[in-house]
RNA sequence: GGCGGGUUGGCGGAGAGGUUACGCAGCGGAUUGCAAAUCCGUGAAGACCGGUUCGAUUCCGGUACCCGCCUCCA
């Protein structure tokens, strides 16, 4: 069996992956807070862990992996949006989840096996909170329940911090009722206008971190294999999850392997609203960048390095995918994979290396274009699909856009006439007009292919006929 | 201030202690009525300073710069 190696944030080392139960490999990914469209940065963990999911299913078996990704649907940002719009919270979260599914589907990301909503697990969160109080790891004060970080000696281990150092950093908001400035909220009171649930500590709502502890336990158990998310979640979110889960279930391991993807940048800078380079996945899709192109751009950079989104990369990825789609046309996915691709992905998800392998396979196919190569083409296709590329139904963008078949037919006719008469003036004039209208022309012996470029102008095209 | 990550050719971006990464662009060629597309070939690198070594871009230490987290924006 292929040995998968993953860089475990907890140990800061690349380790051989050994599942607790090979018949049921369990993975949890921190999902979105559902109050608005997913921005481009949200897509990175989704794509990274989708590749890992495909690899795990390949190595351990289709039915031997359980993948959970939560929806945080109780949050003060959601409350604020409900208050601002007057809409019920459930309307907002339902709508946002629908958007999220549509956008992530467009990136070719498989839906997780379970997508728990925090609001469906309030009872489990209350139970865990009560358990932490009973075990002396949490305390109730002024309607809040707080986790006592001094009760957990390993607090800070995941992120390499010590409680004392962080306090010395003096950037911690100190609420007067906290025993220690680093103590964090498990449960907080809600006023009459804020969503809340009854609990032993009065009507209130959970703190952010407890949901992942409660839901991972409910769906994957006290101990599971992989826990993932963006590196920004390492502290405090994941640190707090570990504290909660390990103190509630001290006999268990909680998550054995912690995987964190590095952050996204845009044109070399942090994506932020103030810099004006903030955009959502939907913005890109609606702007004509296909989801498959977005995915390929992401895969070009290793997940543990900062990734820069640039328009240049998107152009390059689109050209590559056009070539690959053409090469794989008519190929059959028989599930036979290139061993090199599997080995590269198994080595801590070396997607960039895997892509270079696909390039090499594509070159071989192109060199042997005169032969049939159906076996090689099938391997190429199956291997690309391990990366979530060239998936069935993902090639719609290739033929999307305006119908240019009439212009293509006219171009063929003019070319035939020109070749017969040796007078190319009319043909060249038509080609120039098409180019001016933003149409990309590709001609070869067999026919012509027309595609709209980013500067496509429908009005100019219409004027030609 | 504390913690963590990064720095490779014009651009993007990997692996490996010593032998071509790869892709894009460029250049040369094939093909084409001309182009485009496609195919073939090709030059170009390892932030800086030390150390280990027969040999380092690859290991170790330091410096500079960039980025992230510590502010419930992935």
pLDDT digits (tens, 9 = 90+) for A233-250: 888 899 999 999 999 999
pLDDT of A79-113, one tens digit each?
Answer: 888 888 889 999 999 999 999 999 999 999 999 99
pLDDT of A119-149, one tens digit each?
Answer: 999 999 999 999 999 999 999 988 899 999 9
| Protein residue nearest nucleotide B21, by CA to C1' | A356
Distance from residue A464 (CA) to nucleotide B53 (C1'), in Å?
71
Mean pLDDT of A49-63: 95
Distance from residue A37 (CA) to nucleotide B25 (C1'), in Å?
35
Task: Quote the DSSP letter at residue A349.
Answer: -
- Closest nucleotide to A278, Cα to C1': B73
End-to-end CA distance of chain A: 61
Q: What distance lies between CA A196 and its chain's CA centroid?
A: 31
A27-31, A171-175, A219-223, A397-401 — which is least confidently predicted?
A171-175
Q: Do A452 and A402 form a contact (C-beta atoms < 8 A)? A: yes
Report d(CA A279, CA A257) in Å as an integer. 31
Report d(CA A98, CA A45) in Å as an integer. 19
Query: Looking at residue A45, what is its pLDDT?
Result: 93
Q: Do A291 and A285 form a contact (C-beta atoms < 8 A)? A: yes
Pairing, β A25-29 against β A184-189 = unpaired
Task: Please state whether strand B lies within 7 Å of residue A31 at its CB atom.
Answer: no
Q: Do A317 and A390 form a contact (C-beta atoms < 8 A)? A: no
- For the cut 90, the answer to whether the pLDDT of residue A215 exceeds it is yes
- Closest nucleotide to A240, Cα to C1': B72
Task: Please state whether strand B lies within 7 Å of residue A57 at its CB atom.
Answer: no
Backbone angles phi, psi at A447, to 5 degrees: 165, -165
- Closest nucleotide to A273, Cα to C1': B73
Distance from residue A269 (CA) to nucleotide B48 (C1'), in Å?
24
pLDDT of A260-269, one tens digit each?
Answer: 998 888 877 7
Q: Dig out the tokens for A333 from the structure.
A: 């996915």
Task: Please state whether strand B lies within 7 Å of residue A304 at its CB atom.
Answer: yes
Distance from residue A92 (CA) to nucleotide B22 (C1'), in Å?
45
> DSSP labels for A193-227?
TS--B--TT-SEEE-STHHHHHHHHHHH-SEEEEE
Task: Please state whether strand B lies within 7 Å of residue A204 at its CB atom.
Answer: no
- For the cut 90, the answer to whether the pLDDT of residue A329 exceeds it is no
Distance from residue A62 (CA) to nucleotide B57 (C1'), in Å?
41
**What mean pLDDT, rounded, does chain A reach?**
89
pTM: 0.93
Distance from residue A41 (CA) to nucleotide B69 (C1'), in Å?
16
At residue A277, the 3 state secondary structure works out as coil
Say which residue, A162 or A90, is predicted with more confidence. Answer: A90
Q: In chain A, which residues from 89 to 128 place their CB closer than 7 Å to nucleic acid strand B? A: none
CA angle A308, A301, A397 (to 5 degrees): 80
Task: Please state whether strand B lies within 7 Å of residue A231 at its CB atom.
Answer: yes
- For the cut 70, the answer to whether the pLDDT of residue A252 exceeds it is yes
- For the cut 60, the answer to whether the pLDDT of residue A117 exceeds it is yes
Q: Do A228 and A45 form a contact (C-beta atoms < 8 A)? A: yes
- Closest nucleotide to A188, Cα to C1': B72
Report d(CA A189, CA A349) in Å as an integer. 43
- Closest nucleotide to A323, Cα to C1': B38
- For the cut 60, the answer to whether the pLDDT of residue A174 exceeds it is yes
Query: Looking at residue A454, what is its pLDDT?
Result: 66
- For the cut 80, the answer to whether the pLDDT of residue A364 exceeds it is yes
Strand B bases with any atom < 7 A from protein Cβ: 1-7, 11-16, 21-25, 32-40, 67-74
Mean pLDDT of A274-293: 87
Query: Looking at residue A223, what is its pLDDT?
Result: 95
Domains of chain A with CATH codes: 5-264 (3.40.50.620), 288-399 (no CATH), 401-462 (no CATH)
Distance from residue A202 (CA) to nucleotide B70 (C1'), in Å?
31
Task: Please state whether strand B lies within 7 Å of residue A271 at its CB atom.
Answer: yes
Q: What distance lies between CA A403 and its chain's CA centroid?
A: 32
Report d(CA A239, CA A235) in Å as an integer. 6
Distance from residue A172 (CA) to nucleotide B71 (C1'), in Å?
8
Element at A244 (helix H, strand E): helix A239-248
Report d(CA A395, CA A407) in Å as an integer. 22
Other beta carbons less than 10 A from residue A378's beta carbon = 18
Q: Dig out the tokens for A143 from the structure.
A: 């309607």
pLDDT of A382-414, one tens digit each?
Answer: 999 999 999 998 888 887 677 888 888 888 888
CA angle A139, A141, A144 (to 5 degrees): 90
- For the cut 80, the answer to whether the pLDDT of residue A270 exceeds it is no
Tokens 């328009």 belong to A311
Q: In chain A, which residues from 127 to 166 place their CB closer than 7 Å to nucleic acid strand B? A: 159-161, 165-166
Query: Looking at residue A169, what is its pLDDT?
Result: 57
- For the cut 90, the answer to whether the pLDDT of residue A437 exceeds it is no
Query: Looking at residue A168, what is its pLDDT?
Result: 65
Query: Looking at residue A170, what is its pLDDT?
Result: 55
Residue A169: partners with Cβ closer than 8 Å, 6 or more residues away: none
pLDDT of A2-11, one tens digit each?
Answer: 899 999 888 8
Q: Do A141 and A155 form a contact (C-beta atoms < 8 A)? A: no
Mean pLDDT of A50-73: 95
Torsion of CA A206, A219, A14, A352, to 10 degrees: -90
- For the cut 80, the answer to whether the pLDDT of residue A311 exceeds it is yes
Q: Do A75 and A33 form a contact (C-beta atoms < 8 A)? A: yes
Element at A450 (helix H, strand E): strand A447-452
- Closest nucleotide to A353, Cα to C1': B14
User: What are the helix (H) ranges across A339-457?
Assistant: 339-346, 351-367, 374-386, 396-399, 405-421, 425-436
Q: In chain A, which residues from 350 to 379 place their CB closer than 7 Å to nucleic acid strand B? A: 350, 352-353, 355-356, 359-360, 362-363, 366-367, 369
Residue A195: partners with Cβ closer than 8 Å, 6 or more residues away: A74, A79, A89, A205
Query: Looking at residue A135, what is its pLDDT?
Result: 95
């Amino acid at each position: 069996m292929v040995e998968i190696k993953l860089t475990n944030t907890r140990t800061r080392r690349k380790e051989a992956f050994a599942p607790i139960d090979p018949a049921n490999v369990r993975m949890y990914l921190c999902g979105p807070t559902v109050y608005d469209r997913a921005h481009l940065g949200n897509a990175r963990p989704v794509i990274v862990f989708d590749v890992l999911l495909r690899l795990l299913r390949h190595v351990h078996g289709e039915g031997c992996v359980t993948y959970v990704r939560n929806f945080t649907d109780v949050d003060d940002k959601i409350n604020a949006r409900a208050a601002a719009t007057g809409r019920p919270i459930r309307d907002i979260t339902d709508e946002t989840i629908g958007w999220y599914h549509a956008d992530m589907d467009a990136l070719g990301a498989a839906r997780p096996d379970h997508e728990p909503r925090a609001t469906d697990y309030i009872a489990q969160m209350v139970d865990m909170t009560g358990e932490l109080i009973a075990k002396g790891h949490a305390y109730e004060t002024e309607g809040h329940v707080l986790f006592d970080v001094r009760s957990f000696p390993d607090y800070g281990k995941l992120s390499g911090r010590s409680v004392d150092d962080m306090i010395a950093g003096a950037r911690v908001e100190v609420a007067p009722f906290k025993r220690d400035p680093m103590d964090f909220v498990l449960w907080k009171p809600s006023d009459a206008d804020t969503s809340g649930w009854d609990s032993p500590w009065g009507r209130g709502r959970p703190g952010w971190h407890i949901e992942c502890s409660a839901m991972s336990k409910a769906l994957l158990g006290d101990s599971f294999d992989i826990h993932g998310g963006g590196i920004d979640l390492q502290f405090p979110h994941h640190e707090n999850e570990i504290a909660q889960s390990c103190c509630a279930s001290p006999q268990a391991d909680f998550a054995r392997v912690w995987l964190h993807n590095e952050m996204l940048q845009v044109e070399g800078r942090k994506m932020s609203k103030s810099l004006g380079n903030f955009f959502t996945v939907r913005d890109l899709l609606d702007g004509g960048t296909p989801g498959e192109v977005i995915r390929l751009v992401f895969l070009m950079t290793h997940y543990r390095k900062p990734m820069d989104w640039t328009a240049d990369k998107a152009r390059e990825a689109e050209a590559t995918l056009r070539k690959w789609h053409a090469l794989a046309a008519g190929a059959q996915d028989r599930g036979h994979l290139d061993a090199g691709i599997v080995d590269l992905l198994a080595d801590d998800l070396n997607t960039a290396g895997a892509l270079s392998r696909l390039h090499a396979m594509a070159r071989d196919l192109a060199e042997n274009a005169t032969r049939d190569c159906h076996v090689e083409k099938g391997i190429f296709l199956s291997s690309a699909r391990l990366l979530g590329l060239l998936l069935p139904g993902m090639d719609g963008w290739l033929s999307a856009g305006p119908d240019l078949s009439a212009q293509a037919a006219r171009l063929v006719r003019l070319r035939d006439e020109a070749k017969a008469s040796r007078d190319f003036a009319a043909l060249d004039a038509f080609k120039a007009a098409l180019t001016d209208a933003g149409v990309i022309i590709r001609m070869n012996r067999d026919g012509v292919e027309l595609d709209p470029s980013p500067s496509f102008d429908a009005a100019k095209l219409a004027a030609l006929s």
